Amino acid sequence: MRPENLRFFTFTIFTVLVLQVDSTQPPFSCDSSNPSTKTFPFCKTTLPISQRATDLVARLTLEEKISQLVNSAQPIPRLGIPGYQWWSEALHGVAYAGPGIRFNGTIKRATSFPQVILSAASFDANQWYRISQAIGKEARALYNAGQATGMTFWAPNINIFRDPRWGRGQETPGEDPLMTGKYGVSYVRGLQGDSFRGGEINGPLQASACCKHFTAYDLENWNGTSRYVFDAYVTAQDLADTYQPPFKSCVEEGRASGIMCAYNRVNGIPNCADSNFLSQTARAQWGFDGYIASDCDAVSIIHDAQGYAKTPEDAVVAVLKAGMDVNCGSYLQKHTRAAVDQKKLSVSEIDRALHNLFSVRMRLGLFNGNPTGQQFGNIGPDQVCSQENQMLALDAARNGIVLLKNSAGLLPLPKSKTMSLAVIGPNANSVQTLLGNYAGPPCKLVTPLQALQSYIEHTIPYPGCDSVQCSSASIDGAVNVAKGADHVVLIMGLDDTQEKEGLDRRDLVLPGKQQELIISVAKAAKNPVVLVLLSGGPIDVSFAKNDENIGSILWAGYPGEAGAIALAEIIFGDHNPGGKLPMTWYPQEFVKVSMTDMRMRPETSSGYPGRTYRFYKGPTVFEFGYGLSYSKYTYELGVVSQNKLYFNQSSTMHKINNFDSVLSILVSELGTEFCEHKKFPVRIEVKNHGEMAGKHPVLLFARQTKQGNGRPRKQLVGFHSVQLIAGERAEIEFEVSPCEHLSRTNEDGLMVMEEGTHFLVVEGQEYPISIVI
């Protein structure tokens, strides 16, 4: 959505909805106490939803139909249908953003989980599922309390964190397509009321998830290029193995009921007007069965900003014919009638969109009569901000925080009653910074300073900077405070003045005089200091990594309502950190790379370094998957299979010789049954050699001996988080599918299996597997 329009837009819609909805009565259709509804087939729950939706759409006038094509769908009183708000947000908790939710009734708060990038650092798909399951229940509770006029939530954000400067990278699970896809699947299943394994929704959806922003969207505003006009030139290869896989997983495995098309163009065509993406790929190839929404005002910019459509009516025609269903904004409300009158648009295109929209509302149970006695009708206010949900928020922060440096075992700090602690930095006593963007009102909130004070009574706070921007720093004052304390914790980093929707970063270093403040304090302190970084994106802290006066570095993302408690527990040893970075931390020199260059692969001739751990050829501050612990873990990798895999060629298969003379075969020609038969288990034994229990993510990668020619340097095959007490060992099993995990994408965007040696890699240990064609 456009941030500059949100405040006015939300206020306007909010005012309308307050007038329409009883504050304690959830809105619904097909009221059994209304005799007329009994005659409507669309109210008969025994009929298939497709038939019910068709009946409803056929009863609408053209004006009524057009009124349903925007996010603020108008009521249809003659049919007993209330207004509906398609736009609500629940990225990491039910949020303020979007007019579909109000916190002005019985329920005034909701659990605020860590921002997605930090939850991702746990590499724990089950935890992601439990978080979204809790969000879905809290959303349904708000609806039951009459504080929601819609149950469609525009999350998760599963765009790839391609560039470290991107202001919305914090909303995503990071830079890896496989991991991002698994996050999306976990989120969708949890929110919609499915099981963790999927395929077990028998009744209505608990809530509707919407995978966004489709596709190749990862720029806000860079060097004068805004997301509203940006034309992303993406190769078929990058589209197939980086940008599209998360959406494919979200649809095919997660069974998401919504997709949002993005503002930008891809290879000249606006995403919301691209029938190849919306209809041929999402619906025909992936089997998407839900609604497609535009990002807010994304239809208007097709004419007004991009000039792709010559007239407003042409923009309406382009998106509806492409397969979009509902417009966030008012453009379709204003211009659809004219498009029909000018005979540019058939009413059947409107009917198609409405069928999708009403089908989703019916799948939510909103046309089944009074929801009180239905499946989710007993979810009440007591399930919002429950102790269980608040503990889950704390666990998520504990498991996501990443220990980046711990020289000489500085952490954990002692819990001495006589110890003094200086807490310095602009983020030390900030409430809002902990939440990140797209947050709601938290159940409760403790600042890092308050959490640390609960451990050390003699705590001396000092901001050191006038703000996170730190244009003015009180370095002398901070140095004096540091000199008088036994230990110093610096809480620095970023906030929404540096990165958010609509705002990309210009630099990767800390803002203003933060670095100067840190170095000065560290030099003056009695002992090596602890540096805590709050941020969504990576920061070049090479200076701190190499400074012996800075003993420990912790990255805490934007850790949510309980994040400060989790941080203090880690600093004082009540929790053993185990998070791993879900994105590469690049040096400052990476800002020389154009943010509008969408290529993932490096180009030696021009010095283009490539992007993400899969392709980037250049120095890093910290690598994807990096993270320390207070425990030492060892691994033993064993493969239950032969170390040679034979892919015999049939008479119908085509061998391909690449220009670097590597023999390959198209995966599509191998067939599903053949690929299924070739799957094999990989077992990894992990042991905790430390003195503390710990939760430890194990990441399994694959790489090829042959490099270059667009091949990934390595790629994630799977991940699993295991809880081990001191001295305990456990065995983890991964299922490896050669057709998926040992193949690669060629320049035509097709998956190929290449002959030669491949390696399975875990924490430096490698197991060779030979592919023979």
Angle between helices 563-571 and 387-400 (to 10 degrees): 50
CB 111 within 8 A of CB 442: yes
CB 665 within 8 A of CB 721: no
Ranges of beta strands (E only) in 599-714 are: 633-639, 644-646, 655-657, 663-666, 680-688, 694-704
Tokens for 136, please give them.
Answer: 């879905």
DSSP 583-626: S-B--GGGGGS-TT----S-BTTTTB--SHHHH--S--SB-TT-
CA distance 694 to 578: 7
CB 222 within 8 A of CB 504: yes
CB 642 within 8 A of CB 771: no
**Nearest-5° Cα angle at 584, 581 to 588:** 130
| 325 annotated active-site | no
Q: What share of the chain is helix, strand, coil (3-state, %, to 5)?
A: 30, 20, 45
- Choose, from 194, 238, 295, 495, the residue flagged as catalytic: 295
Neighbour count for residue 589 (Cβ, 10 Å): 12
- Torsion of the alpha carbons at 570, 575, 579 and 585, rounded to the nearest 10: 10
CB 275 within 8 A of CB 266: no
CB 30 within 8 A of CB 80: yes
Q: List, in order, residues 6 or more apart from 348 with CB less than 8 Å away.
A: none
Strand, coil or helix: 171: helix
CA distance 622 to 545: 10
**Nearest-5° Cα angle at 129, 164 to 751:** 60
Q: List, in order, residues 6 or more apart from 690 with CB less than 8 Å away.
A: 576, 629, 630, 631, 632, 633, 726
Closest CA to 114 of 387, 440, 403, 396: 396
Query: Which residues are the active-site residues?
Result: 295
